[in-house]
Amino acid sequence: VPPAKFVETVKETGATIVGLSGFLTLAYDPMKETVAALKDAGLDVKIMIGGAPVTGEFAKEIGADAYASNAASAVDKGKELLGL
């Protein structure tokens, strides 16, 4: 999905969290571009990333707000990000 589509969809829906998942290291550059596009658009949205090759360090490197290693921890992290 192109980064502009994420920006457009967040604007249309008012989403407060965007989740990105990658299953190969090929997803690294698109994730980085999407995080940058969301931040450049000035949107008030939290960005979470995960997936097999993804790490917490990579999340920090690209400016994501959170990393989760699995779906259950992603739910917990999402609640934490929203203050729930």
What pTM did the predictor assign? 0.91
pLDDT of the residue at 25 = 87
pLDDT of the residue at 50 = 94
Asked if 27 and 55 touch (Cβ cutoff 8 Å), the reply is no
pLDDT of the residue at 65 = 96
Local mean pLDDT, 10-residue blocks, the chain (84 residues): 96 96 92 97 96 93 95 93 90
Coil, strand or helix: which one is 81?
helix
**Which sign does the torsion angle of CA 55, 60, 62, 66 carry?**
positive
